[in-house]
């Protein structure tokens, strides 16, 4: 990555306050994604700083990064954010990308367990998207379909209309449901 882009990326990531995506939007408008940028964003996503994780995952999502764009280790880094205790913004970004990520068999069990736990959590966005993530995981690993169906059924009884709406869209997204 050239020095100007590296500096602009660092500035955008550090300027992100967790609320306004303005600095990230300006960066995304100025620079297109390539393998080196995706690598750097995955490195920032792996940091211990919740704000940097959120900013990096926001950009990865904004660029439409998919499993085809990521190495297996980069995919594991992103999916690992769902298993670790990370900030909710980074988790929601990865959950929203789940359908396009290739879930390795080695992570499937721990990821399904984490998604089930988060599907019962307090944050409605995380609850809804965790169930969607479980369906995406089960789409790739059919052994988890019963677990995903159980989460879907439970989420359909959720008090939050936004959760029930996401579940309806999830049911439409996967032919096996």
Q: Could you tell me which residues come within 8 angstroms of residue 46 by beta carbon, excluding any fewer than 6 positions away? A: 53, 77, 80
CA distance 12 to 9: 5
Tens digits of residue pLDDT in 109-118: 999 999 999 9
CA distance 164 to 160: 7
CA distance 110 to 61: 23
Residue 71 per-residue DSSP state: -
Has residue 140 got a pLDDT over 70? yes
Tens digits of residue pLDDT in 21-66: 999 999 999 999 999 999 999 999 999 999 999 999 999 999 999 9
Q: pLDDT value at position 68?
A: 87
Single pTM value for the model: 0.94
CA distance 138 to 7: 40
Structure tokens at 171: 């049911």
């Amino acid at each position: 990555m050239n020095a100007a882009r590296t500096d602009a990326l660092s500035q955008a990531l550090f300027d992100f306050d967790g609320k306004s995506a303005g600095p990230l939007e300006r960066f995304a408008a100025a620079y297109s994604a390539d393998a080196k940028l995706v690598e750097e964003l995955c490195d920032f996503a792996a940091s211990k700083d919740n704000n940097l994780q959120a900013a990096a995952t926001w950009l990865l999502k904004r660029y439409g990064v998919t499993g085809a764009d990521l190495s297996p280790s980069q995919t594991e880094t992103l999916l690992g954010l769902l298993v670790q205790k990370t900030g909710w913004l980074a988790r929601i970004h990865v959950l929203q990308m789940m359908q396009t990520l290739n879930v390795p068999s080695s992570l499937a069990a721990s990821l399904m367990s984490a998604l089930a736990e988060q599907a019962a959590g307090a944050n409605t966005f995380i609850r809804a998207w965790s169930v969607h993530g479980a369906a995406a995981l089960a789409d790739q690993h059919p052994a988890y379909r019963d677990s995903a169906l159980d989460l879907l059924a439970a989420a359909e009884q959720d008090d939050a209309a936004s959760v029930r709406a996401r579940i309806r869209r999830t049911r439409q997204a996967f032919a096996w449901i």
